[in-house]
Structure 1
Amino acid sequence: MNFVRLALIFPLFHIINGNGTSSKSLWDDDEEDQKPILRIHHINIFGDSRYMKALAHIDDNRTQFSLTVCLRQEMGSNFLTFNVKVRVRPSGRMIFVNLLQMRDLDLCGFFFELSGNPMMKYFLQSDIQLSDVIACPIRVGNYSLSNLRVKDIYPQVLQNGTYKFFVEVIEATAEKVFALQVTTEIRVPNAPE
């Protein structure tokens, strides 16, 4: 699997600034008048009760969230894959369209690359806090992901609208064991409607 492609989930698009040697995004602090205003509308989470109990918590500002998973059964003895999708319904429109879709990514391979590849760590830099280093097989226990900011999961070039970020983990038997959907309202000041 091409892990560079996966690493680009978070820093998807950049606006090239000036002479093309530096990149700038709408999230950069010096662009206050263009910084997106976002609000997590809701989070849907599913954890197959045979494997886990999964909970999500949205912070009071509705700009970041945390996940807690109590894993009841070891996972990873069978092949685990995951899918990622980002969809948008632009303001004034009725239909969602796909911005990004990646299917059948190797979850255990991702964990292995993340733990041992400095380039992956560089691409996925953020304030996200993971409770434990996760490796396959994923052992029984409690896992948490804290301080996941919405700006870490959406493209950096945005338009006004409703965004949905999906991730799901599937076992080789084609059983969905975990799914997460984050729905966010995003408004970019001074953006055309």
Structure 2
Amino acid sequence: MNFVRLALFFPLFHLINGNATKSLWDEDEEEQAQSPILRIHHINIFGDSRYMKAWSHVDDSRTQFGITASLREQLGSNFLTFNIKLRVRASGREVFVTLLQMRDLDLCGFFTEFSKNPMMKYFLHSEMQLSEIIACPVRVGNYTLKNVSAKDIYPQVLQNGTYKFFVEVIEATAEKVFALQVTTDIRVPSAPE
């Protein structure tokens, strides 16, 4: 199952299983008191210097971030994969547990499907502001992704705690080309401590 279908599957699965409550991110007045309070702690970003230089920026509210990558060498002539992992350390706990892990996803396949999906293109151009649609091979140049809200990378159902979201891109030679880790503290006002 490819990444886009999987990403769309989780909310649908949530509704099918009879849990039709609104997302905590909904902005109805009744739900405002339930909305998670989040703060991006820090972002670690790595771009292999042979291929790129990468930076991240967290806005003053600590709820959104941006990524800039200056690609020095074309990528995608070899097979590219990516891994995603989401971990949480619940409040009062010492150990992080993995909530979601997907490995060896086809990055070029994702770009191909993404470029054919008008809804995804609209979302990334209107909400997150992707500087340009990326396709394989990924050309030399500068790429930016702005206004990424922490709520865009975390699930709808949350508990109080510290969350770590990881993404890494790996070339067929098993070389890590790019890696990103976003660490966020999330507090849900109605959740027990």
Q: Does TM-score exceed 0.5, indicating one fold?
A: yes
Q: Which residue number in structure 2 is paired with residue 28 of structure 1?
A: 26
Assess, with a 3 A threshold, how the Cα gap between structure 1 residues 123 and 100 changes in structure 2: closer, same or farther: farther
Alpha-carbon shift at residue 146 of structure 1 (Å): 0.4
Measure the CA separation in 2 of the matches of 1:166 and 1:66: 15
Compared CA separation, residues 2 and 178, structure 1 to 2 (3 A): same
Where 1:24 maps in the other structure, the secondary structure is: coil
Deviations 1:143-171 (A, max 9, x none): 00000000000001000000000000000
Corresponding position: 1:163 with 2:163? yes
Corresponding pairs, count: 190
Distance 1:182 1:5, change over 3 A: same
Q: Residue 2 of structure 2 contacts residue 105 of structure 2 at CA under 8 Å; is this kept in 1? A: no
How far 1:117 sits from its partner (Å)?
2.5
- What code does the residue aligned with 1:26 have? L
Indicate how the Cα distance of structure 1 residues 123 and 134 shifts in structure 2: closer, same or farther if over 3 A, else same: closer
More strand by share: 1
In structure 2, do the counterparts of structure 1 residues 57 and 9 end up closer, same or farther at CA, with 3 Å as the change threshold? farther
- Judged with a 3 Å threshold, the aligned counterparts in structure 2 of structure 1 residues 2 and 19 are, in CA distance, closer, same or farther, namely closer
Structure 2 gaps, min length 5: none
Q: CA deviation at 1:9?
A: 8.6
Larger mean Cα displacement after TM superposition, 111-120 or 124-133: 124-133
1:7-34 CA-partner distances (Å, limit 9, x unpaired): 3499597578x995xx510000011110
Residues 35 and 188 in structure 1, CA contact (< 8 A), matched pair in contact too: yes
Alignment of 1:10-89 (within 5 A): 14=14, 20=20, 24-30=22-28, 31-89=31-89
Matches within 5 A, 1:113-124: 113-118=113-118
Local SS of the residue matching 1:127: helix
For normalisation by structure 1, the TM-score amounts to 0.90
Mapped pair 1:136 → 2:168: no
- 2:55 & 2:112 partners in 1: Cα distance? 25
Residue deviations 1:129-150 (CA, integer Å, cap 9, x gap):
1101110000000000000000
Residues in 2 aligned to 1:45 and 1:9: alpha-carbon distance in whole angstroms? 28
Letter in 1 for 2:130: L
- Structure 1 residue 96, shift from structure 2 partner: 0.3
Letter in 2 for 1:152: D
Q: Do 1:74 and 1:139's aligned partners in 2 also have CA atoms closer than 8 Å?
A: yes
More helix as a share of residues: 2
Q: Deviation above 3 Å: which 4+ runs of structure 1?
A: 3-6, 8-16, 118-126
SS in 1 for 2:32: coil
